[in-house]
């Protein structure tokens, strides 16, 4: 019989996954007090596993859906009984209990992951008809994460929940802009079809374009509209910041600063997200993190 995995070892596994995979998120995790950092890393590791099961294109879509369902069933058993040797499940179970995170939020997160596995006709791309449809997708894959995170961060004002939802939408719209070309290669176009039509952009021009071809004027206008919506939702992040516990604010500040910086870099590149993948340089992330750590130190010293 295998030796039981300790809670410390389980959290150590989740921290290693977050450090290896989280990229932008991990810089914010570092700016959290250790118990909250452990919990956030556990939630991230849970998300990462769901994404990996969904995104493995070497496996047919139907099989991926089945794999996700089986994994979710294993998680539900682990969450109810504690009987598991999966270090991520062990850590997430502790985090959900410690920070009173509703298990329904994790179910919604898995629903969001599964939405990328729609049973489309052969070779039909994944698309969203309206921005309302896209907003619901963003809610499931990003806002739900925000609603989990603020429970770990700590808050008392219920207004924080709607603001966390909209902050998640801002982050996801930024990701969508950055990844237009990469998603198109996988047969996914998250830009709403109603917006493509309004800007006289064809779906084919997004899905099948010459490598590195810069965006047309119409495509720039389309992407700029998505960017403007994202910028509007970042205003919610500014309003959310004072509503969460003081020691958690630096982490949220770091995350918003990095993601909003990414959106601004996309804008400065005239929305050319086709010729290269735009990112915030590591040295700038480290500079932002240094300020965040200083903010954390001040928060701990303040009465």
Does 106 fall in a domain?
Answer: no
| Residues 180, 232 share a domain | yes
Per-residue pLDDT tens over the stretch 3-56: 788 999 999 999 999 999 987 788 888 889 999 999 999 999 999 999 899 888
The single residue listed with the structure tokens 């290269």 is 276
Are residue 161 and residue 292 in the same domain, yes or no?
yes
Task: Give the end of a domain, one of 72, 101, 130.
Answer: 101
- 261 and 138 both lie in a single domain: yes
How high does pLDDT run on average in the chain? 91
If you compute the radius of gyration of the chain from its CA atoms, what whole number of angstroms results? Answer: 20
pTM listed for this prediction: 0.91
Residue 288 lies in a domain: yes
- When divided into structural domains, the chain yields a total of 2
Distance CA 15, CA 38 (A): 7
Mean pLDDT, to the nearest integer, of 203-220? 90
Band of residue 303 on the pLDDT scale cut at 50, 70, 90:
low
Look up the domain containing 152 and give its range: 120-303
Angle (nearest 5°) at CA 206 between 201 and 208: 125
pLDDT at 86 over 80: yes
Alpha-carbon gap, residue 244 to 252, rounded angstroms: 9
- Predicted confidence at residue 120, as pLDDT, reads 57
253: in domain: yes
Distance CA 289, CA 287 (A): 5
Q: How far apart are CA 284 and CA 290, in angstroms?
A: 10
Tens-digit pLDDT profile for residues 111-164? 888 877 765 555 678 899 999 999 999 999 999 999 999 999 999 999 999 999
Average pLDDT over residues 288-296: 88
Confidence band of 2 (pLDDT split at 50, 70, 90): low
Cβ–Cβ under 8 Å, residues 32 and 248: yes
Q: Helix crossing, 103-114 with 144-153: angle to 10°?
A: 150
In terms of Cα–Cα distance, which of 178, 181, 225, 228 is closest to 199? 225
Q: Are residues 255 and 138 in the same domain?
A: yes
């Amino acid at each position: 019989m295998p030796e039981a995995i300790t809670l410390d070892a389980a959290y150590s596994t989740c921290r290693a996954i977050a450090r290896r995979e989280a990229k932008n998120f991990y810089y914010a995790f570092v700016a959290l007090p250790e118990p909250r950092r452990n919990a956030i890393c556990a939630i991230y590791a849970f998300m990462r596993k769901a994404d990996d099961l969904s995104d493995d294109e070497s496996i047919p879509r139907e099989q991926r859906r089945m794999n996700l369902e089986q994994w979710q069933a294993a998680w539900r058993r682990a969450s109810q009984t504690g009987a598991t040797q999966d270090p991520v499940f062990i850590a997430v179970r502790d985090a959900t209990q410690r920070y009173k995170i509703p298990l329904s939020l994790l179910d919604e997160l898995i629903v969001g992951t599964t939405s990328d596995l729609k049973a489309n006709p052969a070779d039909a791309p994944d698309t969203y008809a309206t921005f309302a449809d896209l907003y619901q997708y963003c809610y499931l894959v990003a806002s739900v994460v925000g609603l989990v995170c603020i429970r770990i961060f700590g808050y008392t004002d219920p207004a924080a929940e709607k603001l966390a939802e909209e902050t998640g939408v801002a982050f996801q719209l930024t990701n969508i802009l950055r990844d237009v070309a990469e998603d198109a290669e996988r047969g996914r176009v998250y830009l709403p079809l109603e917006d493509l039509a309004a800007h006289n952009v064809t779906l084919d021009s997004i899905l099948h374009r010459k490598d590195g071809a810069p965006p047309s004027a119409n495509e720039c206008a389309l992407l700029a509209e998505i960017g403007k919506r994202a910028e509007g939702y970042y205003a919610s992040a500014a309003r959310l910041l004072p509503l969460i516990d003081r020691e958690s604010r630096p982490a949220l500040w770091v995350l918003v600063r990095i993601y909003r910086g990414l959106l601004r870099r996309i804008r400065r590149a005239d929305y050319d997200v086709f010729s290269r993948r735009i990112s915030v340089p590591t040295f700038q992330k480290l500079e932002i993190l240094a300020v965040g750590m200083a903010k954390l130190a001040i928060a701990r010293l303040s009465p």
